[in-house]
Amino acid sequence: MSDVLSDETRLAADIERLKAEFPKTRELYREVCALLFFRFGVPPTANRLYHLVRRGTMSTPASVLAEFWAELREKSRVRIEHPDLPKELSEAAGELIGTLWTRAAASAHAELTSLRDDVEARRAEAEQKVVAAREELGRTETALEQRTAALLAAQVEIRELERQQAHEAAARKALEA
């Protein structure tokens, strides 16, 4: 639950930064598309874009989103250009490389997710250790305060006894004299 809130908070902060950086509405929508898709791994929708940016008409994010997907498809298409290579073979090789790239990216994403989970587990464990250490520190400080109070009480009692002893020694000397 806290991860969702932190992602939403980071997203809102990033969008505010982009609003200052990109005053033109279409450019802003384009950057928010890229932010959602590449940084947060969320496929952007026209409704979500409009909800986040709140600029222009509802058709603006829809058209920008269509351009974003078209450009992304075009950039992700692999072309093998060789003059002696038949067109069908060139297209098949491009698709193969594209498939390999997609699988490698998915594998890297899975590994990154695994590493993030591991880091999160270690962070949670470290937080628990910090909490336990603070509790132990509190118990130790309480015990120290109790022992200090007992020591002070014992010192007062010792002084009182020493005073009584001195008084009794003086009384005894007086009686002996």
Q: pLDDT per position in the chain (177 positions), as tens?
A: 556 557 788 888 888 999 899 989 999 999 998 888 888 888 899 999 888 898 888 889 999 999 988 888 877 766 666 667 677 877 777 778 778 878 888 888 889 889 989 999 999 999 999 999 999 999 999 999 999 999 999 999 999 999 999 999 999 998 888
**pLDDT for 4:** 57
Q: Is residue 71 assigned to a domain?
A: yes
Under DSSP, is residue 4 helix (H, G, I), strand (E, B) or coil? helix
Measured CA to CA, the distance from residue 95 to residue 97 in angstroms comes to: 5
**pLDDT for 77:** 67
Q: Is residue 129 assigned to a domain?
A: no
Q: Is residue 22 assigned to a domain?
A: yes
Q: Is residue 105 assigned to a domain?
A: no
Q: Is residue 21 assigned to a domain?
A: yes
Measured CA to CA, the distance from residue 173 to residue 70 in angstroms comes to: 112
Residues 6+ apart with CB under 8 A from 43: 36, 37
**pLDDT for 66:** 92
**CB-count exposure of residue 11 (10 Å: 0-12, 13-18, 19+):** middle
Q: Total domain count for the chain?
A: 1
Measured CA to CA, the distance from residue 109 to residue 42 in angstroms comes to: 13
Q: Is residue 155 assigned to a domain?
A: no
The number of angstroms, rounded, from the C-alpha of 96 to the middle of its chain's C-alpha atoms is: 37
Q: Is residue 127 assigned to a domain?
A: no
Rounded to two decimals, the pTM is 0.45
**pLDDT for 70:** 87
- Give the range of the structural domain holding residue 43, as residue numbers without chain letter: 1-76
Host H or E run for residue 64? helix 59-76
Q: Is residue 91 assigned to a domain?
A: no
Host H or E run for residue 56? none
Angle (CA) 157-159-160 rounded to 5° is 65
